[in-house]
Every structure is written in C-alpha cells, then in structure tokens.
Amino acid sequence: MLWGHASLPGLPAAYLLIDTFFVISGYLVSRSLMQAVADQDVNSTGKLASPLRIFFANRIRRIIIPLAATILLSLTAGWFVFLPDDLFALAQSAEATLLLQAHLYALTLGHYFDVVGGNTPLLHAWSLSLEEWFYIMTPLLVLPALIWSRLGWLVILGAVALLSLYTAQVMSSDPDTLGASYSLLRTRLWQFVVGAIVAILIQSPPHLHRLVNDSILLLAILTIIASVLFLTDKAASPGYVTLPTVFGILVILVLQPQTSALIALTGSVWIGFLGKRIYSLYLMHYPVMIFFDYLEYDLGSLTNHIKFVLALTVSLTFYYAVEAPAQGWRRVTFARVVGLSLVLIAGCFVMIMQIRATGGAPTRLPPEALAAWTARFDTNPARAYCVQPQLTRFGYSCALGPTDGPFYALFGDSHSEVFSTQLARVLAEDGIGLRHYWYAECPVIGSGLAALRVFSDTCTRLSHEGHRAALSDPALAGVIYAARWPWYLNDANPNQMRSYWRDAKGIARNQTSMEAFRSGFISTLTASVHDFKRRGVPVFIMTPVPSLPVDPVKSQVLSLWHGATPAFEQIRYGHDLEDYLLERHIFDELFAPLAQEDLASLIDVRDGLCENAICAVYGALGSLYYDDNHLNETGARRVVSSLLE
C-alpha cells in the first residue's frame, strides 16, 4: 500500500490489499472474541459481559491512542502547510474520522481514485472507520454461533455475505455511482463476514500432506500477487474481481507453511518486523506523503522513491514513539489509556473548532499570499443557481440574462459553466439571453449521445432533452458548445485513466478503440450542428482551455508563503504554447471539417490567452485559473472580452 500510494511503478492494483485487510480483520477479530469467550468459560448469555468487556477494552487499547495522535499531528502539520480551504477540509475530515464517519466523508469527495493523492491527509481513514464499525458488529456476527446454532448461523452469515457481494458488484459496475461502492459499509461487509465465517468454521488448520498444503498456500500467494500486478484501479472493486484476492488471503490465514522453503519465505525477518508495525505504517504513511506532495517538492526522478522512504521512516518513528510504549499500552491501566485518549481527542476537537470557526484560519497567511488565495473563489457567481434543474429534468440547466426574447443555447461540461456568466454578459448587451445545459464530465453534444453507450444515463438524458428543447424553441438565435474536448478525445494518460466513462484499458466504455469512439463522437456532434443549421441558427465551438501541470493558485500562494517552489517556477511566466497545441491536436483534426464546411465557427481560446510562445497563467490581479484546467471569472472575462466584445 505504501508503494502504491507513493506512485511508484509496478503495483497497479495495490489497493486490493485493502480487501485482504478487511478479510484478515474479520478473521482475527472474530477469533479474538471467541478466545475471550472460551477463556471465561461462558455457557449462557448471562455471562457474556466479562468477555465482551475484555474484547472491547483490547480494541480500545490497540486503536484509539495512535489514531487520535495521527489526527492531531495531521491537523498541526496542516496548520503550518495547508491553504485555508484545504485546512478547512482537513478539519472536516478529522471530525468525521473521530465520529467514525470517515467512510461517509470520503463519499462526498467523489470517486476514491480521483481523490487519492490529493489534498486529503486523512482520506485513508475511511477504511479505519469501517473497521471500527465492524468491531462494534463483531459480537452480533460471532456470538449467535456460540450460543445458538453454529451451522444455522453460518448459513445466515453466508446469505449476508452474498447479498453484500452482489450489492458491491452492482454498484461498482455502475458509472452513475461514481465509485460510491468503494467505501460503503454494505459493500464491504461481505469481506469482513467471510473472515468471520472462516474463523467460526475452521478452528484449527486442516491436516494435509505438507506438499499439498504448501502447493495450495503458494498458489494463494501467487494469486494475490497476480491480482496486484495485472488489475488496475478501473476494476469493479469491491465486486467479483476481488474474489481471487479474498480467497487467496483466506487460504493464507488457514494454512500454515510446512516445507522449509515456504517457511523461510513467509518467515522473513523483514516481513515479521513490518507486520508487527503495520498499524503505525498504515496510519502515518499517507499523511506524510500528502504533505510531501503538497509542498511540491521536485527531486527529479527519485522524488517518489524519497517520498516512500520518508513515509516509511516517519511511520516507524511514530510506532516507537506512540504505539509501542508499554507493549502497545497493554500494561497501562485501562482508565489511564482512556484518559490519555480523551486528552488527545479533546486536543483534536479544539483545533477542529478553531479551524472551522475561522473558515480555515486564513490569517495564518501573509497578506500577499492571502490575496493570491482569493483567486480560488473567483468562480461563476451563478454556479449555485445553475445546479438546480429548471429547464430539464436531468442534469443542470439555467437561464441567464433576458428571458423574454431571443436566446443562445450553451451546451457543455464544467468548462461551459466557466464561461456562462461572461457569455451571458456580452449577449445581454444586445438583448439576448443565454440558456445553459451542462453536467460535469459530460459532453452535451446531441440527442444521439446515448447511442455511443459510453456516458451515464444522467448525461445522455440531459444532452437529448437540452437539444430537443433548444431546437423546438423559435426564439433560439444561436448555439455555443464548450467543453474540455481533449478529456474525451485524447488517448488516456495516467490523469485520465480513472475517468468513469473509460474502461480499464483507458478506452471509452463499450467501444473497440478510441478511433471508433472519436468517429461516433464527431458524428453525433455533426448531426446536431446540421439540425441547427437547417434552422438557420449559427453554431460556435469554443476550443479547449490549456491544462496546466499544477494548480496555479496553490503554487502561487505557497511560493508567497513558504518561498518559491519548482512547480511555481514552471508556470510563473506562463504555459508553453507548444504543449497546449500538442494537447489539442486531435481536437483540431476532428473539428477542422466543421469549420471548413462552414457548419460551425471556432472561438479560439488561444487568441485570448496566448501570445507568441506563451499562454498566460497569471494576470495583474493574480491567477487566471481556479484549478489546473478551469479558468476563473477573471480568466473567462479576459477570453470573452478579447474575442467577442
């Protein structure tokens, strides 16, 4: 997991080890409770209080102090490093983690694999929240088998696991859920329950010939390795695709190595050393990596390797400083463990309340850095208004400017939203209104979009209904298309692979190749253009906005706050025009025929942003962008004013 989070190559599906984590936990925690019951010689429900008290006390000793310390250290580091909006989000994440809601908070951030590696030091706590809920549920999963009917209860647990697995498969295969299945209790429950079932069912290792035993064990190890090496984060996890990994870890849990070769392989000193420190490694590695990346360190080709070593070193130091004392807090009285936990938790909440009350404590920033930070919020003032479905039942739409006369229809994704206010301003000067139809990561290009079988139902319905509504209205005076066209048309790169509408190979879903998809995409758009031209309505297509290698607002603020960073120096004087032209080359090839045949006119963003060999990133008032690919209102005004006024 550390290797994968450090963005090091070779383990594309390292995330599958989270699946094994839940299975291992279900197995070991269930056995722990069963052992506590056996030690107390419980034979009736009236004598369960003592083993349950021991069980939960052991969980608290093991979990709370290191977790609370991790949260407090993350908040402290965030105070000195994070910009106000990111610090505010960190406080929300910390609060959710303390309240066992980190898995639900993770859902609010979007698809897990779109967020991982971002500005979220406690994102990994989603798995810990689920784990804690599983601990609470463990008595309900295990005790009926001990005090009622083992076989009958195993049948019920099996049905629960199958239902959870089916739910996980359905949700993880549905692009409309946008990865929600990844961190939900009901879609992860089957992995924990499977571990509990095996713990209840198999009390001791089966007696197999040592060669048979170790052959099965070796096959299980190789199965997990193969899954990690050959699957990607586009696999429908945690559904059926995770079954080989789950079965592999169950075999490893049940069978003990018998041959000297396998004993030596699995009994490595390093495996034992790291295994005993796995909790601290998991807790601390991710925050360290996020803060390292946040400061935009660039150490050349070894950057990610250094990040990995740094995270490993800090995590091991954390183990000895926080988790290891008193043999993991076993020798300290339970009252003192709880008291120390409460002190750490109270410290967390004091910081959380301070951060939330001040909106991310912006006064920490020097005045010039604070001024630059405001570019993050220089966004479309009608955004909140436009996310209410007014003109269609599906997706987002709204009317801007005059509403009782001619209007232009604006179709697109979040990049059309960027320009909508400024376009409406210019059109309103001539008494023309603007009707905007948009949905994030959705090319609203026509009624035929559904035929491509690529995009979500919401996207295709919005595209169909918006075009039908515009075509049927006699007041329609013109049409504008604006989108991040390379996002849809270019071959996948590591930053696009996780797009929900691309499959595991990076090709558009249900398509044989990107060439076939592009052909269908342009055919759909061309058909829509022809529909409007037959009405005598002019059609305009905005070229894509240059994408930047880094977030310009963050880079500028960090430079003003902590000193110049390599990332800021990279874009300080602008973005290379040649890189931009390379990014949009497929757009130029595909859209050129529309312009040449006088079917549509191009509104070239390059003319408003780029001069000579450089495309502007910053203006007199700061950044022209609010993230790495969307212009802010200042940038949009610059483009629209220079091209249309």
pLDDT at 389: 61
How many whole angstroms separate alpha carbon 527 and alpha carbon 21?
51
pTM of the model: 0.86
How many whole angstroms separate alpha carbon 637 and alpha carbon 608?
10
Question: Whose CA is closest to 619, among 633, 605, 606, 607?
Answer: 633
How much of the chain is in helix, strand and coil states, percent to nearest 5? 65, 5, 30
Please give the biggest Cα pair distance in the chain.
87
pLDDT at 494: 66
407-412 and 433-438 strand pairing:
parallel
Decide: helix, strand or coil at residue 538.
Answer: coil
pLDDT at 328: 84
How many whole angstroms separate alpha carbon 640 and alpha carbon 538?
18
Q: Which two tokens stand for residue 547?
A: 């994408």
Number of H helices, E strands in the chain: 29, 11
pLDDT at 160: 97
Residue 288: enclosing H or E segment and its boundaries?
helix 278-294
How many whole angstroms separate alpha carbon 131 and alpha carbon 137?
10
pLDDT at 41: 64
pLDDT at 268: 83
pLDDT at 34: 92
Cβ atoms of residues 75 and 121 within 8 Å: no
Query: Which amino acid appears at position 537 of this protein?
Result: V
pLDDT at 330: 86
How many whole angstroms separate alpha carbon 612 and alpha carbon 250?
62
How many whole angstroms separate alpha carbon 499 and alpha carbon 147?
49
Q: Which residues of the chain have pLDDT under 50?
A: 44
